[in-house]
């Protein structure tokens, strides 16, 4: 199987690259990819950088250049659910672009339109729409089971827990408790980031199975007193453990 992996930051890819045998660097235009073997699978990795536009460009390039059979995304997210602690993992079931707003057209918050046409009969716009882009059910179930059974490194005195549910993404860094609360009330999403929903959208349009796992870098009320550096070290180690077992159990 060929597996594509995308992370917003290079640090998020380091533990995955460390698993790879025969690792090679590939330059395509202005983007760097890495290719290697992990447990008999061909793996292609790239850094997309923050934001939905960056994420969707990197995703489409990876899909076009290397035609992977599935695509995995990992990274940090801010918690929206009050039940989440710093270091907890969320295995996404679906993703919504929270900053896409056509509510003036009576669509739901985050509902995307595509296949937009003007009817030759009525002169009115016709379109398809979708609010939540799903992850692959089989990959998500496998990842949740593996993550739940994997001994995760503590972050401070907290042993990370594993959750499964909806996430939201937008081109905004959510730094206020009020904004986080509004997203929670609107979408009931467990966490928020800047890339996952765009990657999910691209995978949906290309019929590519998608998996997303996110680690919480902050609590919903911003009360956590953990440095991002300390968080990133523990989170990436936990990613490495989960993805090592996950890739090993994928069918070849």
- What DSSP assignment string belongs to 114-167? EEEEE-TTT--EEEEEES-EEPPHHHHHHHHHHHHHS-PPPBTTB---EEEEEE
Closest among 240, 242, 238 to 230, alpha carbons compared: 238
CA distance 118 to 124: 5
Q: Which domain holds residue 110?
A: 74-249
Give the CATH number, domain containing residue 210: 3.40.50.1580
Sequence-ordered list of residues with C-beta below 8 angstroms from that of 56, at least 6 positions apart, any chain: 198, 199, 201, 202
Kind of pairing, strands 89-97 and 210-218? antiparallel
- Residue located via tokens 């907290």: 158
230 is catalytic: no
**Phi, psi for 76 (deg, rounded to 5):** -95, 155
For β-strands 70-79 and 210-218, DSSP reports them as parallel
Contact yes or no for 203/139 (Cβ under 8 A): no
Domain membership of residue 13 (yes or no) is no
Residue 209 and residue 71 in contact, taking contact as beta carbons nearer than 8 Å: yes
**Alpha helix segments (H runs only) across 7-111:** 10-17, 52-66
DSSP state of 44: E
Helix (H) / strand (E) containing 181: helix 177-187
Question: How much is the pLDDT for 225?
Answer: 63
* Catalytic residue flag (residue 218): yes
Size of the chain in residues: 252
Q: Measured at the alpha carbon of residue 143, what is the angle toward residues 137 and 145, in degrees to the nearest 5?
A: 100
Kindly state whether residue 43 falls inside one of the protein's structural domains: no
- Split into its structural domains, the chain has a count of 1
Burial of 16 (0-12, 13-18, 19+ CB in 10 A): buried
Active-site residue, from 88, 111, 193, 218: 218
Sole residue written with tokens 């296949």: 115
Answer whether residue 10 is part of any domain. no
Q: What is the pLDDT along the chain (252 residues), one digit of tens a residue?
A: 999 999 999 888 888 899 999 999 999 999 999 999 999 999 999 999 999 999 999 999 999 999 999 999 998 899 999 999 999 999 999 999 999 999 999 999 999 999 999 988 888 888 999 999 999 999 999 999 999 999 998 888 889 999 999 999 999 988 889 999 999 999 999 999 999 999 999 999 999 999 999 999 888 887 766 667 777 778 888 888 999 999 999 976
Q: Is residue 17 in some structural domain?
A: no
**DSSP-assigned letters across all residues of 98-116:** TT---GGGTPPTT-EEEEE
Cα–Cα dist 171/194, whole Å: 6
Q: Is residue 205 part of a domain?
A: yes
Q: Which single residue is written with the structure tokens 């270091």?
A: 87
18, part of any domain = no
Active-site residue, selected from the candidate residues 12, 94, 111, 136: 12
Query: Does 80 fall in a domain?
Result: yes
Q: Is the residue at 244 inside a domain?
A: yes
């Amino acid at each position: 199987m060929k597996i594509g992996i995308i992370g917003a930051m290079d640090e998020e890819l380091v533990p995955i690259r460390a698993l790879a045998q025969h690792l090679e660097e590939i330059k395509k235009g202005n983007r760097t990819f890495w290719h290697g073997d992990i447990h008999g699978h061909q793996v292609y990795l790239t850094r997309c950088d923050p934001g939905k536009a960056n994420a969707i460009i990197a995703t489409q390039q990876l899909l076009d250049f290397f035609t992977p059979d599935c695509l995995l995304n990992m990274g940090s997210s801010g918690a929206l659910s009050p039940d989440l602690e710093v270091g907890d993992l969320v295995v996404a079931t679906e993703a919504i672009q929270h900053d896409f707003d056509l509510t003036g057209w009576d669509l739901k918050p985050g509902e995307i339109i595509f296949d937009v046409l003007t009817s030759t009969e009525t002169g009115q716009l016709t379109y398809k729409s979708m609010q939540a882009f799903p992850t692959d059910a089989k990959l998500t179930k496998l990842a949740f089971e593996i993550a739940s059974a994997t001994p995760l490194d503590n972050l401070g005195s907290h042993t990370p827990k594993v959750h499964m549910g909806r996430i939201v993404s937008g081109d905004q860094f959510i730094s206020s408790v009020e904004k986080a609360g509004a997203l929670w009330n609107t979408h009931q999403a467990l966490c928020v980031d800047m890339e996952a929903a765009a990657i999910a959208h691209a995978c949906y349009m290309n019929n590519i199975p998608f998996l997303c796992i996110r680690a919480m870098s902050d609590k919903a009320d911003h009360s956590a007193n953990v440095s991002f550096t300390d968080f990133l070290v523990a989170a990436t180690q936990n990613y490495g453990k989960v993805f090592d077992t996950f890739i090993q159990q994928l069918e070849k």
